Amino acid sequence: MIWQEKTYDCKIASLLEKRCNISSLAARLLSIRKISSVLEAENFLNPKLAHLSDPFEIPQMDKAVERIERAILKKEQILLVGDYDADGISAVSIVQKMLLELGANSSYVIPRRVDEGYGLTQKVIDRGISHKEISLVIALDCGTNSRDEAAFLQNIGIDLIIVDHHQAKDEVSRIPIILNPHLEENKNFPWYNLCTAGLAFKLAHGLIKRLKQKNSALVDKVKLKEFLPLSALGTIADLVPLQDENRIISKFGLKHLGHNPSVGINALLVESKINRNSYPKSEDITFKLAPMINACGRMDNPTVATSLFLEKNPDNCVLLAKKMNEYNEQRKFIETRLTEEAEFQASTLFMDKPAIVAKGDGEWWNPGVVGIVAGKLANSLSKPCLVLAKSENGEYRGSGRGTKGLDLVVALAECKELLLHWGGHPVAVGLSIKEASVEEFTKRFLRAVKNQLGDEPQDSILEIDAFIKQNELTENLLQEIEQLAPFGQANPEPILGLKKVRLFGKTRKVGSGHFQFSIHNGIEAVSGIAWRMAEDVPPEETEIDIAIRLQWNTWNQKKRLQMVLVAWKTH
C-alpha cells in the first residue's frame, strides 16, 4: 500500500486560517475539500437551513407541486412507489407523512426484491393499483428509465411524477413530470447531488411554500423540520456527496434525530443501542441504522421499515424495530457465508483480472445481500466487483461496486445488449442477466473495465490528510476536526499520520480480532483501538509510522480522546 499525503493550496489555506479564525489544520482540510473562498468556508463550517435554495429552482418542481396540490384538493387516490433501500424507504416515508398530514388519500407500495425486482416495474404497478381508482402515481428513487411503464400508466389514464436521482441510460420518457437533477447538463447547482430523500424534502418544502402563498389552512398541519431526520437518513445511507445542500440536510437532520426523534426513529435508536448522550453521528447511520433499514428489503419485507417510520404507537414501534434487528442479524449471517464463497472465486478465477464477477446459487446467494459483499470485495481487493445470485426464474441478479477512476455505468453500457435490466451510479450499480449470457457478459465487462483503467494493476493508495507531531495528539485537535462533521462521501473523516513513533506500553488483544494500544503525547498516554487487526500487531520497540482517525470514547459518561488505527508500517 502506498501512503500519499493529500495536496492542498497553501495560499488559500493561509487565507482561510486568518480570515475565518480557524487553525492551520482546519484551513488545510478545507482546502483539500476544494473550498477556496472565505464565504464557502463560512457556509461549510456554519451551515444554516436558510442557506437551502428555493425548491422551485429544480426543473419541473412547479408542475409536480401543482399536480399533487390538485390531487389533494380533489381527494384523488395517490399511489407512492418506492425503492427498497434506505433512500427509497426514507423518501416514501417523507412524502406519505406529508400527504397524510395534508389530508390526502394516499397509499404506498415497496417492491419485493425477489419476485418484483427493482423500481417501477409492471409487477409492482399491478399490485399497487389493484382494486383502487388511482389517478396519480409518484415514483420515488426509481422511474427515470421506466419508459414502458410510463406509457402504460398514461394509456390507462394515470398521471406519473418521478422523483429520482439515478442516471438516465437512454432517452427519457416525456410523459411524466420528472424531478431528477441528473437530467440537467449544468452540475453547478447546490441541489444537483441530492438523493431521493433530499428531493422528497425539497418537494415537501415546495408544496408547503405554495400552500402558504395561497394562505391555505392546510399548511398549519405540516412541520417541515420533522422530515429532516428521514432526509438525513437517506442522504447519508445512500453515500451521496455531503456537500452543499446534502451537508445542510445531514447536519440538521442528525441534530433533530437526536434532539426530538419521532416515536419510530426513537425505537430504532434504542434497538440499535446508539449512545444517546450526544447527537448521533453520520457513522451511526452508516453502520447501525442504515443496515437495519436495508435489511428489511434484503430479507424481502421492506414495508416493515416504512411502517416503523409512519407508526405513531410506541409499543408497535418497539415491535417493528425488533423485527428490523432480527432481519439484520439474518443478513449478517448470510453475508458472512456469501463473502467466503465470493472471495474464493475472486482468488481462483480473477486474481490476474482487472475486475471480479462472482456468481452462484444456493442457500447463501441471496440477491438482497450481494451489494454488501460486492462492496467488501471492492474495498479489500481494490478491484471493481460484481456479485450475481441466481434467482428462482433462472436469471442472475446482482450488484456491483466500483473503485476510484472507474464509472460502472459506462462499463455496463458497453454490455447492455446482454443485460435484462441495469442502472445505478458510477460507483454502484444493479443488474439482471440471463444465465446463458453470463459467460459472454463477464468477458465484455472485464474488457470494459480494462479500457477505463488500463493494463497496469491499481496500487492500493492510503491518502493522508496531514501528518502531525505526537504533542499535537490532544482533545483540542479532535475538536478542530469536528468542525467539518458530518463526515461521509466527498467529506471523509480525516486520516492523520504520525511518523517515527513508538508504542507506549504493551498492546492488548480485545474482543474478536482487535487490539488496543497507546501513544504518549508528551503529557499523557492516548489510547487507541485497532479493529480486526489482531493478526497484524506492530512491534513495541520499533519506530513505526501510523495512520489514524480520531474519535471520542465515551464510558461511564466520561469522554476521552481515542485513536482508531487505519494502518501502520515500519519507518
Q: Is residue 532 within 8 Å of 514, Cβ to Cβ? A: yes
As a whole number, mean pLDDT of residues 246-261 equals 95
Please give the Cα distance from 12 to 492 (Å, whole number): 20
Q: How many residues does the chain have?
A: 571
Share above pLDDT 90 across residues of the chain, in percent, rounded to a whole number: 87
Per-residue CA distances from 355 to 395, 401, 451 (Å) = 21, 10, 12
As a whole number, mean pLDDT of residues 126-133 equals 94
Phi and psi angles of residue 62, each rounded to the nearest 5 degrees, phi first: -60, -40
- 94 closest CA partner among 270, 213, 233, 251: 233
For position 367, what pLDDT does the model report? 87
Cell numbers at 323, concatenated: 423485527
As a whole number, mean pLDDT of residues 421-436 equals 90
pLDDT at 38 over 80: yes
pLDDT at 443 over 80: yes
For position 456, what pLDDT does the model report? 66
Q: Could you read off the pLDDT of 75-104 as tens digits, one per residue?
A: 999 999 999 999 999 999 999 999 999 999
pLDDT at 236 over 70: yes
pLDDT at 455 over 80: no
DSSP secondary structure string for all residues of 142-208: --TT-HHHHHHHHHTT-EEEEE--PPPSSPPPSSSEEE-GGG-S---STTTT--HHHHHHHHHHHHH
As a whole number, mean pLDDT of residues 12-21 equals 96
Please give the Cα distance from 472 to 474 (Å, whole number): 6
Cell numbers at 60, concatenated: 419541473
* 414 Cα distance to chain centroid: 26
Q: How would you classify residue 81: left for phi > 0, otherwise alpha for psi between -120 and 50, otherwise beta?
A: beta
pLDDT at 244 over 90: yes
The pTM score is 0.91
For position 457, what pLDDT does the model report? 62
pLDDT at 459 over 80: no
Band of pLDDT at residue 438, cut at 50, 70 and 90: very high
Cell numbers at 101, concatenated: 398530514
